[in-house]
Amino acid sequence: MVQLQLSSRHQTQVRYVVESYLRENPKQKHLLDSLKEDTISHQNLYEITRLAPKDALPPFWSLVASSTWKLPPPKCPYDNYQRPAILDKRLEALRERHERKQYRELIQDLPSLAPSEPSTSASFKSFREQLTLGLQVLTSMATGFVVGYYVAWKLTAKQTVALIWGLLTLIFAMFVDVILIITGMLAKDMLIAKTNKKEKLS
């Protein structure tokens, strides 16, 4: 309910009128009680001006115009609402997921703060992988040459033919090994790309 705060002069004047002129009125106690507060409702103020003698108080509209309006604080129907604990947990999980997504979007365009040169362990790992691949290719080539040379020598007993077949099987083994290495690297890259895509969507 809207309350009115009267000026000190009008408040004293209204109290005097209620105490003096409304002595016989059954509503006097109620109206006096309404004046104990700093504010008074416009219904009670209108009742006082209606019951008071004609010249005892200023008009109702004059009292209202010179007063300060006091609005009650708004009341939210959910002030005392208690959310279930499971709902709080779900909201917290959603909030954390949203914060992680915002953080990834925020830093995706920033330059990497990692050093431009790979670390010693990364360099050693890369060198070891390259060395392993090189030894694998050399082993396959040597095996192909030996097998081709041996089979051709047993079939023809001619050294020239055996050397030619050894070189052919060497080249064939090299191509097969290179194709297998490239296929493995492509499969590894596809797996990494698929994993990164899943992390971005989560």
Spans of all domains in the chain: 3-70, 130-201
CA 90 to chain centre: 13
Q: What is the pLDDT of residues 100-139, one digit of tens each?
A: 888 888 887 776 655 444 555 666 677 788 888 888 888 8
Which residues in the chain land under pLDDT 70?
1-2, 4, 21-29, 31-36, 42, 69, 71-81, 111-124, 200-202
The gap from C-alpha 182 to its chain's centroid, in whole angstroms, comes to: 41
What is d(CA 98, CA 112) in angstroms, rounded to the nearest whole number?
23
Q: Quote the pLDDT of residue 43.
A: 78
Residue type, 55: D
Q: How many separate helices (H) and strands (E) can be counted in the chain?
A: 7, 3
pLDDT at 68: 74
Per-residue pLDDT, 96? 92
CA distances from 26 to 11, 18, 29, 32 (A): 21, 11, 7, 11
Query: What are the strands of the beta sheet with 68-70, ordered from one edge?
Result: 40-41, 3-5, 68-70
